[in-house]
Amino acid sequence: MTSRLDLNALSADQLRALATEWFDGMERTDRVLAQKDRILSQQEQAIRHRDAVIEKQNHELALLKRHKFARRSEQFKGVQGQLLEELIDADLAAMEAELAEVLPEEAPTAPVRQRPKRAPLPPQLPRTLIHHEPEHTQCRCGCALKRIGEDVSEKLDYVPGEFTVERHIRGKWACEQCETLIQAPVPAQVIDKGLPTAGLLAQVLVAKYADHLPLYRQERIFGRAGLAIPRSTLAEWVGTCGVRLQPLVDALRATLLAQPVLHADETPVAMLAPGKKKTHRAYVWAYCSTPFADLKATVYDFAPGRAGEHARAFLGDWRGKLVCDDYAGYKAGFGEGITEIGCLAHARRKFHDLHVANKSELAAQALEYIGALYGIERGLKDLRDQDRQRLRHEQARPIADALHRWMIAQRQKVPDGSGTAKALDYSLKRWAALTRYLDDGAVPIDNNRVENQIRPWALGRNNWLFAGSLRSGQRAAAVMSLIQSAKLNGHDPYAYLKDVLTRLPTQKNSAIDELLPHNWTPASA
């Protein structure tokens, strides 16, 4: 039996030591319990957040399915109906991919959506045999493994101008003594157990977002090659790729917002109003680095409107110099660490339109002044920022000051409300913003850089007509951010996306920046 401690036999010092030890033990126990309570509280908060996300996604998923299967798309005929169908299918695939990432492993899986049966790939297509064998064929028991068979799967690949088939052969190796069976693992893919290779996915994305070919047109192109791939399947590929590429776009946005000078512009895009057969005006906001920056990047942000809150949400805590037009939506951030930089091209455009309309001599004189400022800029584009600023001060500042004095004098001579007065007022009211470029060699003279980045959207909307949902617009903005940034860095968008989609499934999050367009080096290199 364990003897009981006789407190009466202990001295005062022993009693004090025993009491101190007991209190220390209680404090340690309290600290451990408090730490466990904090961990449990954090886990409960994470579970509540996850459940809220799942509930929101399931609700949106149900609405999309009802919209798809209740034949509401019949409100749109012909091309519009085909475009809406493919956008809904892409949204459904994207939401299912997002749900798969947040659902707990032990949660019951949702009923598997019935997919069209995959047709065999045409036998006339060239085949590339890719063998996957174990690193060693020695069993743990010491016996040599014997090859007893193989699993074969085929994936459709695409290189510019030609479809081919990758035939993956995974040998089966078994030990006759202990009946051990091993196979090489299945290579990681953006779409597990899917038909397309990274090359084919890259082709579909580039055709849709760079060449502006809707999926129903791509379906016809595949059909002429003897490939029966329904556009619903193509849409699933697009939706899934959009989800997988989003972390790369988030990293690109963070890199862009580290720049001290940015361009910004926006353009309208029609978006289908939820539950209606009408479209309303949404907007694509474009942000890019300057021509003088080492970073070459463009990031698009798709928003349901043109309110300034969308620009503020994208920029967040960014502080720097923003080159933009006179739109009031940007101005709320000015004075809070954001400095407005005006666009001299907009001012020039006012006088150009005036000269075209009535051959105004005043407009011609203004264009001559502004042309001189642009002539100086052409000679400074390849210089360092410090040298550019110095030469602007020496050469451009006197011309700008003379133009300002001339505008003030001319404004007093023309009546209010006239076209000439409006052209002069535009520049005079924004003169400080229009001439801030003279004081900083890192700042461009105009906003033409980002206007060129907006142009692909203006070309594309003539083909795809409208965005089917906010989600599809945001997906287009994400993929086009990568495509346009790849172009800015001199990369072929197809080669870039093919390599990125190949490497992305196994790329560590800590090394995601290696796949950004300005950092990208082909794996083969």
- Length in residues, the chain: 525
Name the H helices within 302-394.
Answer: 308-315, 328-331, 344-358, 361-378, 385-391
Report residue 4's pLDDT band, with 50, 70 and 90 as the boundaries.
low
Whole-structure pTM value = 0.77
The pLDDT value given to residue 95: 57
Is the pLDDT higher at 160 or at 347? 347
366-374 long-range Cβ contacts below 8 angstroms, 24+ apart:
366/403, 366/406, 366/407, 366/423, 369/399, 369/402, 369/403, 369/406, 370/344, 370/403, 372/399, 373/344, 373/399, 373/400, 373/403, 373/445, 374/344, 374/445
Give 452's contacts (C-beta < 8 A, 6+ positions apart): none
> What mean pLDDT is reported for the chain?
82
The pLDDT value given to residue 52: 63
User: Among positive and negative, which fits the CA dihedral 234, 240, 244, 248?
Assistant: positive
The pLDDT value given to residue 191: 86
> What's the mean pLDDT in 258-280?
81
Report residue 402's pLDDT band, with 50, 70 and 90 as the boundaries.
very high
Beta-bridge partner residues of 269: 282
Find, among 427, 423, 432, the residue nearest to 341 by Cα.
432
**What are the φ/ψ torsions at residue 305 (nearest 5 degrees)?**
-155, -170
The pLDDT > 90 percentage for the chain reads 38
**pLDDT at residue 512 greater than cutoff 70:** yes
The strand pair at 162-174 and 261-272 is best described as unpaired
Q: Which two tokens stand for residue 513?
A: 């920046």
User: Could you read off the pLDDT of 362-385 as tens digits, one per residue?
Assistant: 999 999 999 999 999 999 988 999
Q: Which of 119-133, 170-184, 272-286 has the lowest mean pLDDT?
A: 272-286
The pLDDT value given to residue 79: 46
Angstrom distances, CA of residue 172 to CA of 137, 151, 179, 187: 10, 7, 12, 16
The pLDDT value given to residue 483: 96
Highest mean pLDDT among 48-62, 383-397, 413-427: 383-397
Domain range list for the chain: 344-439
Alpha carbons 237 and 474: distance in angstroms, whole number: 16
Find, among 496, 500, 472, the residue nearest to 486 by Cα.
496
Alpha carbons 365 and 24: distance in angstroms, whole number: 88
Neighbours of 158 (CB within 10 A): 22
User: Could you read off the pLDDT of 104-132 as tens digits, one per residue?
Assistant: 554 444 444 555 566 777 877 788 888 88
Distance of CA 502 to the CA centre of its chain: 18
> What's the mean pLDDT in 132-158?
78
**What are the φ/ψ torsions at residue 374 (nearest 5 degrees)?**
-70, -35
Find, among 300, 301, 287, the residue nearest to 258 by Cα.
287
Q: Which residue do the tokens 């110099």 mark?
A: 321
The pLDDT > 70 percentage for the chain reads 79
Find, among 281, 280, 279, 285, the residue nearest to 267 by Cα.
285
Alpha carbons 485 and 483: distance in angstroms, whole number: 6
**pLDDT at residue 302 greater than cutoff 50:** yes
Alpha carbons 118 and 484: distance in angstroms, whole number: 33
Q: Is 103 helix (H, G, I), strand (E, B) or coil?
A: coil
> What's the mean pLDDT in 327-333?
76
Task: Give first-to-last CA distance, the chain, whole Å.
Answer: 76
Q: What is the 3-state secondary structure (H, E, C) of 119-134?
A: CCCCCCCCEEEEEECC
> What's the mean pLDDT in 484-493?
96
Residue 407 parent element (H or E): helix 397-411
